[in-house]
Structure 1
Amino acid sequence: MIEIDGVSKAFGGLQAVHNVSFTVERGSITGLIGPNGAGKSTLFNIVAGVIPPDEGRIALDGQDITGLPPHQLFHRGLVRTFQIPHEFSRMTVRENLMIVPAGQQGESLLQSWLRWARIVRQDREILRRADEVLDFLEIGHLADELAGNLSGGQKKLLDLGRTMMTDARAVLLDEPGAGVNRTLLGKLAEAIERLNRERGYTFCVIEHDMDLIARLCDPVMVMANGELIASGSMETLRQDERVLEAYLGSGSSGQAGASA
C-alpha cells in the first residue's frame, strides 16, 4: 500500500536516511524499529510529507505522493500521529474529535446563512461519529473533559481517535507507547488491533517497546545508521546478529536484551 523506494535524506554532512526501500502491505501492521539516531523519524517525516527526500520515491496505492504536503496526504487517506500528542488542550475530548473532518459547511459564514438546516444535519452526524469513536476506544466517560487534563496514555487514545474521524486508509504511528502506563498501553494495543482487524486500517509503527512491537507487528523493519539492515518477524529478528549488534553498538544493551 505504501511503497518506499530508494529514499535518501541528508542534513548537511549527516546522512540521516540512505537508500531505504520497503513496502507496507495493505492490511498489515508493519513495525519500524532501531536504536536512537537510526533515521526512523526522518523516514516517517518524508513519508508524511513533512520534509522532501533528496532521492527516491514514495507511492500510495501505486500513485506517486513524493513531496506532497501533509494536508494533501490527509485527503488521500494517509495520516500520522506524533510521539507527543498535539491535542487542543482547551477544548473537550469530544470537540477535539469533532473538528477533525474536513469540508465542514459550518466553517463558511455564507453557508451558515444559506444552508443552516444542512449544517445542523452535518453537525449531528459528526457528533454521532465522535461518540461512536469514544465508545470504540472506551473513553466515553472523558467526552466532556478538557483534553489538556488527560494523562499521556489518554492523549494517545485521543490521537488514535482523531485518525478514526478521517477517511484514513494508512496510519503512521510514531511511538504510540511512549509515556503510557501498562494498563492504558494494553487498551491502546487492543484498539490498534481492532482497527486493523475489523476496519481494515493499515499501520506503520515506530516503537521502542519491543513487547508492543512483538504483539502488534509482522513484519518488522530494522534501521541503523540511516539504512535498512533487516526485516522479518520479531521472532526471527531476535536471533539476527545484525540487529543485536546495532542495538549493542549504540549503547542500548538493555533495550537489545529486552528484544532478544
Structure 2
Amino acid sequence: MLEVDQLVMSYGGFRAVDNCSLSVTEGSITGLIGPNGAGKTTLFNLVAGAFPPSSGRIRYLGEDITGLSTDRRFHLGLVRTFQIPHEFHRLTVMENLMMVPPHQAGETLLANWLTFGKVRRNEEEVRQRAEETLAFLELEHVAEERAGNLSGGQKKLLELGRTMMTDARLVLLDEPAAGVNRTLLRKLEEKIAILNKERGYTFILIEHDMEMIEKLCHPVICMAEGRVLIEGDFATVRADERVLEAYLGETVGAA
C-alpha cells in the first residue's frame, strides 16, 4: 500500500531521515518505534507531504506521490494526526467533524443562494455522519462542547473521528497515547482495532507506549538515526540488541 524507498531528509549536514526504506501492507497496523530523534515524525511529515524529501521516492497505492501536495494526498485517502491535537478550539466538537468532508455543496456563497435545497440535504447528510462518528467514539455527550475544552484523551478521539469523516484509507497516527489517561487510552485502542478489523483502515502508529504497540501492531519497525534498524513482530524487535542499544537505557516494554 505504501512504499518508502531510500528516503533522505537533510537539514544542512544533518540527515534526520537517512536512506530510509520500508513498506506498509494494506489492512495492517504498523508500529513505528525508536528513541527521540530517530526520525519518526520527520518520516511522517515526508509521507504526508508537509515538505519534499531531499531524495528518495514515496509510492502509495502504486502511484508515485513524492511530488504531490498535502491536499492531493488527503484526497487520495492518506491522512495524518498529530502528537499535539490540531482541533479548532473555538468550534464545537460537532462543528469540528462537520467541516472535514471536502467538496461540500455549501462551500461557495453562490451555491447557498441558487441551490439551497441541495446544500441543506448535503449538510444533513454530513451531520448524520458526524453523529454516527460521535456515537462510535462515545463522545455524543460533548457534541456541543467547544473542542478546546476537551481533555487530552477526548481530543485524541476527536482527531481519530476527523479521519473517519474523510475517505481515509491510510492513517498516520503520531503518538496517540501522549497525554491520554489510561481509561481513555484503552478506549482509543479499542476504536483503532475496530476501524482496522471491521472498516478496513490501515494505520501506521508512532508510539512510545510499548503496551499499546504490543496490543495493536504487527509488524513493528524500529528506527534510529533516521534509518530502519529492524522490522518484525513485537517480541522479536523488543529482544534485538540493536534496539536496546538505540534506546540507551530508555524503557522498551519489559526490556
Give the TM-score normalised by structure 2: 0.98
What is the CA deviation profile of residues 177-196 of structure 1, one whole-angstrom value per residue up to 9, with x for unaligned ones?
Answer: 00100000000010000000
Give 1:222's aligned amino acid. C
SS of the aligned residue for 1:238 comes to helix
Pairing 1:184-199 to 2, within 5 Å after superposition? 184-199=184-199
The answer to whether residue 176 in structure 2 is matched with residue 176 in structure 1 is yes
Letter in 2 for 1:26: E
Partner of 1:8: 8
Cα distance in structure 1, aligned partners of 2:179 and 2:69: 29
- Give the alignment's Cα RMSD to 1 decimal: 0.8
Shift in Å at residue 107 of structure 1? Answer: 1.4
Residue 131 (str. 1) matches residue 131 (str. 2): yes
Asked if 1:154 is matched to 2:154, the reply is yes
For 1:255, the equivalent position in structure 2 comes to: 251
State the SS of the aligned residue for 1:189. helix
- What secondary structure, in the 3-state scheme, does the structure 1 residue paired with 2:251 have? helix
* Identical aligned residues as a percent: 62
2 CA distance for matches of 1:103 and 1:237? 43
- Residue aligning to 1:242: 242
**Residues in 1 aligned to 2:250 and 2:114: alpha-carbon distance in whole angstroms:** 63
Stretches of 4+ moved more than 2 A in 1?
A: none
The Cα shift of 1:259 comes to 4.7
TM-score normalized by the length of structure 1:
0.97
Residues 90-239 of structure 1: matches in 2 within 5 Å? 90-239=90-239
Give the whole-Å Cα distance in 1 for the aligned partners of 2:6 and 2:99. Answer: 37
Indicate conservation of the 8 Å contact 1:53/1:67, yes or no.
no
How much does 1:254 deviate? 4.0
Aligned pair count? 255
Q: Distance in 2 between matches of 1:223 and 1:143?
A: 38
Q: Once the two structures are superposed, what CA deviation does each residue of 1:136-175 show, in whole Å capped at 9, x if it has no partner?
A: 1111111111101000000000000000000001000000
- In the aligned structure 2, how far is the partner of 1:166 from the partner of 1:259? 37
Supply the AA of the counterpart residue of 1:173: L
Q: 2:56 aligned with 1:56, yes or no?
A: yes
* 181 and 143 in structure 1: CA distance in 2 versus 1, 3 angstrom threshold: same
